[in-house]
Structure formats: structure tokens, C-alpha cells
Amino acid sequence: MKNIYKKLACLLALGLTLASCEDYLNDVPKGAKSPTTLADYEAFLRDEYNTRIDVLGANQLLNDQYVLLTTLTSNRLYNALYLWDENADRIALKVSDESTYYTTYGGISAFNLIIENALNSTNATEEEKRVVWAEAKIMRAMNYFYVTNFYADTYVASTAATKLSVPLITSANINAPSKQITIQEMYDFILNDIKEALPYLLKVSQTPLHPNLGTAYAFYARVYLQMNNYTEALKYADLALAENNKLFDWVAFYEANKAIIDVPGSYTTAVSPMGFNYTENYVFRHGSTRNLGREPNIPVERAQRFETGDVRFKSRWKIRTVTNDTYYYSILSGMYNFGGITTTEVYLIKAECLARDNKISEALAILNTVRKTRILPASYQDISTTDKTTAMNAILRTKNNELVQTLTPFADARRLNAEGVYKVSFTKTANGNTYTLSSDSHLWTMPFPQGAVLNPGNGTITQNVAK
């Protein structure tokens, strides 16, 4: 998993379209290696730089990540997102490069390189080549899903064919053209990548960074849920859980580590179980470099939305005051699967699909299966209701807490707001002021960074929001 081809991957990334780069790629530097064998191309999948997914802006908008008071004063973009400033011109404030955009497209470029060349590489069987090709297809589709659900409006069937998404690039060539396609075209492209990859994926991954058959099924379920296609989402959730249905026992983890977790004033405790070998992983993917070693802190108001007795929360954050800032401080160390897919997400996709089909008792059985591994026995009670709205709210609350600081709560909120039944909005009071994020706010779609719009490579980019 070493960062073997980081330099080459960066050179291939979107936006680095200088003519000197083309010369650089044509002439292999002395002592460097040009990929030719399948192992050379497969190394891009082991490169953890290519697996990073940064969703900082979404975390700030949801207040899933605490922003220091001094940072709010000095960084106007962070202030606009965190305090829900409808009047702020976020486009004007995005004057520097943004890792959400460039990291995601950098990964896409690396995956394009594999897709273009793996089948013609050397020192491997045809079957081995096809596996790597298929893994790159899944990874590319995941990156496009992330960048689309960050910068474009959410999928709505009636408007998806007319609204623009993000630039589509299918070649790693430095001069490859790009086209900003519609949301429908992008979802069709993503689904087709999964479909083409599916027959060649292994049941067991070579490493946690490599997507397997369960990853593809789980990702299918995620995509179809975002498209409000609950029949297909349920179908693929079941197929994914047939590949892996394990849940990590956070209650047992807390009991084994509570002697250090509960020490007053101690903010360094256990090692994160959410790393490469997390039993719930279908595939592991990092968040941003900010997440390496420890998780971001979360606001006090956000911490209050966790259930009483939630030891997954208790094992990860502890309240702390530093000068004028009070927040829940991250206390684990290690790795965190912020960008991949886990069984918990798929269980909760299944629960939502069942609830929408009015199979409330079945949905809650799935939900409670997850909750029992998270809530202390002294605090635990089954959620039991025949009311669809109550069941849906319980499922969505658990999912938001389980996937906090990933893109999924942001994508779910946009999906739910567009649907109009289970709308998501927030209100908070800070420094004597009341702030509101309405369900129909334009803030739910992130603007492209200025660097991407002004230097779009061989294409054009139209902003998806006015400010």
C-alpha cells in the first residue's frame, strides 16, 4: 500500500494541464519507472493517496465537524458554511484550490490509467488483468459519485436529464477532453461502470483498498438509494449482505477499553478499530489528510443527537474546553474508513427500503440489529412502532450518527429535501445569534473552486449555483 506512483498520479490529475507535463510524461526520468506490467498498474490501487475522499465542506455545513472560533474569524468560507450564511458569495471565497475536487479527480485519472492499460499490460493472465480493470472501474465510479453529489444538485428523475453535473473524463491522457454532462448521464455512466466490472470482481479482496464483489453490490445499493429506486437498492443491499453481514461489537470494544476511555481529562485512549481490518469494511478508503491519525472534533450540539448509551460515540469523542472553544475532542488514534463502504450503511439502506415499502417491523428488526452493537445494555431498548414516519426518523438518525463525517449524511439530506417528505433543516444559537439552514437553501450544493472553472483543462465548467 505504499505511495509508489504518487508523483505520476499527481501529474495525471485534472487541472495540471501545463505543456511541460506532456514532455515530462513522454520522457521517463532517469531512475524512474514507466508502468508496463499489471503489477505496475495495480500499484495505483494500493496507493492510499488515490483512495482519499475529502468532504470538508459538507461536514462543515452539517456541523458534523467543529470549527474553532479563531478559524471562523479568519476564514470567510468556513464561516459561511458553518454559520449558514445565505448572503455569502462562496464562489468568490473559493479562491484557492480545493482538495475535494482535485483529490477526487486525481484518483479518477489514476483509475483511468488502469482502465486504459491494464488489459494490455504484461506479466499476468487475462483473468488477472480483468480483475484489476474491474477494480479500477468500481473505484472510478465511486469517485464520480462523490464529486457529483458534492458539486451538482442531487438526483431528481424529472430534472436529471437537463441539469448539469460535473466534468466527465475517461482518459488519463494529459490532453484528454472533458465534458460537463447531465446528472442523468453521470448516473448512467456510474451504473454502467459497476455493471461492466461486476462479472470480474473477486469475492475476497487482495487488500482492504481493493473493491470486491461485496463492494460492488453495496455501492449499487448506495447509488440506487440516491436515485430513489428502493426496489433495486434493496435488491443489492441483500446481495451485499450475503457477501458480508458482520457488525463490529462496539459495546465489547468499550468494555475492553473503558478503563482508559473514561479517565477524566485524558484525551488519548485506544486505537481506532475502523482501519484496514475493520470487520464491517467492504472496501477501505481514507478521508482527507486531516483525518489521518485522529478524527475531526464535533460540536456540542451535534453530540447531543447521538443516543443515550451510544458507546460508539463515547469511545470516539470526549468533551473538552480549550480557551474559548468547547467541543467533543477525538480520542482514538489510527485509521478511519471515511470514504469506503461498510456493512452498517448497507443494513440501514435495507432498513429504509423496507420502511418505505411499509414493512415497518422488518425494517426495525434490521435497525435494532445494528443498535444492539452500539448501545449499552443498561440504556438499550428496541425501537418499536407501527408508524412509518417514526420508523423512518429512527433509521435516518442512526444512519447519520453511524456515518458522521462522511459524505453520506450530506447526500442523504439533499435526497430527502428534494423528495420533500422527510426534510432536513437545522437551527442553532451561537453567541446570542440564531442561525438556520433551511431544507431548500442553495447552500446544499457546493460551488466548483475557481481554479477548476478558470482552468478546466480541455473543456468548460458551468457553475451549478449562483453563489
Q: What is the DSSP string of 272-337?
A: PSSSTT-TTEEE-----GGGSBSPPPB-HHHHTTSPTTBHHHHTTEEEEEETTEEEEEE--BB---
pLDDT level of residue 24 (50, 70, 90 thresholds): very low
**Amino acid letter for position 58:** A
Q: What is the dihedral of CA 455, 414, 211, 313, to 10 degrees?
A: 120
Percentage of residues of the chain with pLDDT beyond 70: 92
Q: Which helix (H) or strand (E) holds 111?
A: helix 99-117
pTM equals: 0.92
Per-residue pLDDT tens over the stretch 105-161: 999 999 999 999 999 999 999 999 999 999 999 999 999 999 999 999 999 999 999
pLDDT of residue 292: 66
Q: Is the pLDDT of residue 6 over 80?
A: no
Q: Is the pLDDT of residue 439 over 60?
A: yes
Q: Which helix (H) or strand (E) holds 426?
A: strand 426-430
Mean of all residue pLDDT scores within the chain:
91
Tell me which residue of 452, 450, 170, 144 sits closest to 460, measured CA to CA.
452
C-alpha–C-alpha distance, residues 364 and 395, integer Å: 8
Taking the domains of the chain in order of start, what are their residue ranges?
6-228+444-454
Instruction: Tell me what the mean pLDDT of segment 20-44 comes to.
Output: 67
Per-residue pLDDT tens over the stretch 323-382: 999 999 999 999 999 999 999 999 999 999 999 999 999 999 999 999 999 999 999 999
Exposure pattern of 341-365 as b/e (b: 16+ CB <10 Å)?
bbbbbbbbbbbbbbbbeebbeebbe
pLDDT of residue 268: 82
Task: Tell me which CATH code domain 6-228+444-454 carries.
Answer: 1.25.40.390
Per-residue pLDDT tens over the stretch 392-437: 999 999 999 999 999 999 999 999 999 999 999 999 998 889 999 9
Instruction: Tell me what the mean pLDDT of segment 290-318 comes to.
Output: 91
Per-residue pLDDT tens over the stretch 217-246: 999 999 999 999 999 999 999 999 999 999
